[in-house]
């Protein structure tokens, strides 16, 4: 069965430094998608970045990049130049299967706190 594992319940980072949030996944599907979402204390889910299983290059979106290591089944999120507003919970998620199945499976999340 598909599974997402985030092993870091909480992380601290100094403002302006980079931080890596870990995510490993388990799937037998060849076609899948990996997502990272940010959830501030307000509860909304903010989409950050997406990596398809067939994408050869690591995805990047502004200060966010995804370190995709397919053989190791890891999809770590790297946030560069951390800002106080980055303090939130971060979720790694995997889209199960291809086509129109559409179900997202979430990890347990990592709470990131940025220190001034």
Q: Which of residues 11-30 bind another protein (CB under 8 A)?
A: none
CB neighbour list of residue 108: distance below 8 Å, 6 or more residues apart? 5, 6, 9
**The one among 44, 69, 80, 84 contacting another protein by CB under 8 A:** 44
Task: Kindly state whether residue 115 participates in binding another protein, applying the rule CB under 8 A.
Answer: no
CB–CB of 49/63 below 8 Å? no
Structure tokens at 109: 């999340």
Contact footprint for another protein (CB under 8 A): 4, 31, 33, 35, 37, 42-45, 47, 50, 52, 91, 93, 95, 98-100, 102-109, 111
């Amino acid at each position: 069965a598909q599974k997402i594992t985030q092993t870091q319940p909480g992380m601290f980072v100094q403002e302006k430094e980079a931080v890596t949030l870990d995510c490993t996944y388990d799937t037998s599907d060849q076609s899948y998608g990996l997502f990272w979402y940010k959830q501030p204390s307000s509860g909304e889910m903010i989409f950050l970045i997406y990596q398809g299983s067939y994408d050869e290059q690591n995805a990047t979106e502004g200060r966010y990049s995804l370190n995709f290591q397919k053989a190791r089944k890891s999809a770590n999120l790297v946030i560069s130049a951390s800002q106080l507003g980055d303090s939130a919970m971060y979720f790694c998620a995997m889209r199960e299967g291809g086509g129109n199945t559409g179900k997202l499976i979430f990890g347990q999340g990592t709470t990131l706190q940025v220190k001034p």
